[in-house]
Structure 1
Amino acid sequence: MADVLIVGGGPAGMMAGLLFARAGVSVKVIEKHGDFFRDFRGDTVHPSTMEVLDQLGLLRRFLGRQHNRITSARIRIAGRDWTIGDLSHLDTPAPFIAMMPQWEFLDFLRDEAVAYPGFALAMSEPVAGFLEESGRIAGVRFASGGEERAGKLVIAADGRSSLVRSSGILPVETLGAPMDVLWFELPKTDDGGDALRGSVEPGRMVVLIDRDTYWQTAFLIPKGEELNVRARGLCWLRQEVSKAFPGMDFSGGLASDDDVKLLSVSLDRLTSWSRPGLLAIGDAAHAMSPIGGIGINLAIQDAVAAANILAGPLAAGANADPILIRVRKRREFPTRVIQAGQKTAQDRIIGRVLGEAR
């Protein structure tokens, strides 16, 4: 029986698993998918996260993985190109954003974690619910019908569709979002130049992420307008991206409607992150807008805070229930500040720009 069961093998879950195992706490991460290859997971690893990796002695090996580096971004606004931001002067071990597909990042965390004997990872194990005993969360129930108990704590790191949300175990405060994102690949015929490009025009917003052999494309649409946009056809969608980035060749992309996926955007947070035997972190505790690509990095910071606060007492055999609330108190302020900024950008910029597309 592991001391800690972590539901969800995303950034928060895998980093928490690594840190708890490193501290001598036995931990098992339970991931519902058979691999980490989920295209909706983000790519942007910020300098703050790489500073954590540096402190753990992992930065060099992390940067040995395939990635692109950006110190700024190119954005096209009303037909004029701008270069924004300059991270190169930051006093940090990695003064840039590492654009690394999240499956690569999660593979890296797994490879580091398995070096510790107290770490275990179960793939293809969907969790259907929690075990509750005498008012305390004691373990998990699997969709296959089995059960597993946690020695001391269950951590929900299973994203914005977390069981703590769908089951109503922990209350959610919804902030709202005016947009969704269509997510698809387009061919890349040049060397990229910049790893991140954006375009803002009346009625249209598009982001291109350089993945070496193709552009991962985020096409923003008004919330709930997926069917109307899809009805215009793939040719229209490809033409809109071409208009957003004149001079770039996207011919040959989007062969099927199945090539276009919907990312439903939400912005919300739990008003309580814990109850006896249970703690929520990452997107399970606070669903972030994709604005700024900050979600991965907040999830990592949550995992660090949870390990810093809880690993010592758990390793010493203490009951962590009385101190679970300290994780939320440590992490709630930066979460609220960033979400407030995202909501302002959504309401004052994105909502208004996309409103002109109706």
Structure 2
Amino acid sequence: MVEMTERTGCVVIGGGPAGVVTGLLLARAGVEVTVLEKHADFLRDFRGDTVHPSTLTLLDELGLGEKFDALPHSELSSAGFPQENGEVMKLADFTRLKVPHPYIAMVPQWDFLDLLAESARKEPTFVQRMETECTGLVREQGRVVGVTYRTAAGETGEIRSDLVIAADGRWSVARREAGLVPREYDCPFDVWWFRLTRAEGDVDGVLLPKMRDRRFAVPLPRPGFFQVAYLGPKGDDLRQQGIEAFRENVARICPEFAGRVHELQTMDDVKFLDVRLNLLRRWHVDGLLCIGDAAHAMSPIGGVGINLAVQDAVAAATLLAEPLRRGRVSPADLAKVRSRRLLPTLLVQGLQRLLHRTVVRQVMAGKRNGPPAPMIKLFARFPRLSYVPARLLGLGLRPEHAPAYARRPMEPVRR
């Protein structure tokens, strides 16, 4: 075991979308930044794979739009609820947004992260440390001044820095070590993720949740397969029921998959997500800032987690690049990030909580097989209302844009 002490301008904990975007932007500002990622690579399935219009615009501004567009992906132009008469109530119509990319791109998160990390590594002040796990915080006189870490090889050490940014997700080690405790909101379900193959004639380009007989599923059309979210009551362990019962539930809620559920060989083919919806009252302590899921875990409803995390990252880099260049980041500087991002976060979480209460919980209780009738009538009478959820989910209240120092000409795709 080797003890090491290092020094950098900013340590970012977590190599997910929030962490890598923060590292990329700060490095383009000339700040020395080190991103710690505990895994060896980004190849983990059933992570957030939805990239919304706000993030697609950001990629264009960073010069990465064409490279992203070359990645294998599918596009969702709208989301709604199928009705018993066969019609679809469009809840969110992204084509109504006046943006360059009026759709949600479904792309494997590892491809998205590889693209961002590849660009960041071109910056001389960017360092990415894989297989390096943050184990705690270093404090001096009540201020966070760095982190301790352990590598997969068993080496340990410290990295001292002017700022630590916690982008290490809903179970953030740094948040816990800092004594920051989020407020938990009621969430009536957990998610069980799995894949099934696509067939000719399957729906494409539209997100259509399925609701029937206390069951709820969301098939996400991807190139060559469906990524399916099966929503189960909070705390129920569907593994105990076995794969046969799970197949039967899937076939009942999605009859079109009845001939494909045999592709699920065992419950090992089904991945569990403990859904959380929470929010930190305060996102920082002196020397440490939480962003993304570390500050506000999101429900998978709307697939907004990646995009709010990226928006936090852009806001943090925009507001903190200059203090970091000066070598001193004050608590007041950190508080500005929360002030800027709080209302957009609250509005999206408010929409998610409304859908939890009026749709998901009612379906699981057997009270209805879709949205409330007044909601259906309202959107049927005023179809332009589908702009409002599309705006909240696709762009947010205050979409962040790349700061001038981080913008680059569009990088061509090498064929």
* Same fold at TM > 0.5: yes
Of residues 270, 289, 313 in structure 1, which corresponds to 2:323?
A: 313
The match for 2:23 among 4, 17, 41 is 17
Residue in structure 2 matched with residue 56 of structure 1 by the alignment: 62
Structure 1 residue aligned with 2:243, among 234, 248, 273?
Answer: 234
Report the secondary structure of 2:94's partner residue. Answer: coil
The residue that corresponds to 2:148 in the other structure is 141
Rounded to whole Å, the distance in 1 between the matches of 2:21 and 2:247 is 37
Q: Which runs of 5+ in 1 are unaligned?
A: none
- Is 1:103 paired with 2:128? no
**More displaced 10-residue stretch of structure 1: 309-318 or 331-340:** 309-318
Matched, 1:343 2:353: yes
Counterpart residue type for residue 168 of structure 2: D
Kept in 1: contact 2:299–2:352 (CA 8 A)? yes
Measured after TM superposition, the shift of residue 319 of structure 1 is: 3.2
> 1:157-186 CA distances to partner (integer Å, 9 max, x unpaired)?
000000144335213111121110111122
CA–CA distance in structure 1, aligned partners of residues 144 and 291 of structure 2: 16
* SS state at 1:235 partner: helix
If the length of structure 1 is used for normalisation, what is the TM-score?
0.93
Q: Give the 3-state SS of the residue equivalent to 1:324 in structure 2.
A: helix
Q: How many residue pairs were aligned?
A: 355
Match of 2:220 in 1: 209
2-side partners of 1:307 and 1:240: how far apart? Answer: 45
- Give the corresponding residue for 2:373: none
Matching of residues 164-179 of structure 1 within 5 Å: 164-167=174-177, 169-179=179-189
Q: CA deviation at 1:192?
A: 4.2
**SS in structure 2 at match of 1:117:** coil
Q: What displacement does 1:83 show?
A: 5.9
Residues 180-218 of structure 1: CA distance to partner in whole angstroms, max 9, x if unpaired? 011112232336441544201230110112232322111
Runs of 4+ with deviation above 6 angstroms: none
| Local SS of the residue matching 2:265 | coil
Question: Which region of structure 1 is more displaced relative to structure 2, 330-339 or 83-92?
Answer: 83-92
Within 2, Cα distance between the matches of 1:244 and 1:204?
6
Contact 2:320/2:329 (CA < 8 Å) preserved in 1?
Answer: no
**Residue 292 of structure 1: SS of its match in structure 2?**
coil
1:148-187 equivalences under 5 Å are 148-167=158-177, 169-187=179-197
Task: Tell me the equivalent position of 1:246.
Answer: 255
Which residue of 77, 93, 113 maps to 2:120?
A: 113
Whichever residue aligns with residue 150 of structure 1, its letter is R
Secondary structure in 1 matching 2:34: strand
TM-score, length-normalised on structure 2? 0.81
Q: CA RMSD in A?
A: 1.9
Structure 1 position 11, deviation (Å): 0.8
Structure 2 runs not aligned, ≥5 long: 1-6, 368-415
The reply to whether residue 47 of structure 1 matches residue 53 of structure 2 is yes
Which has the larger displacement, 279-288 or 77-86? 77-86
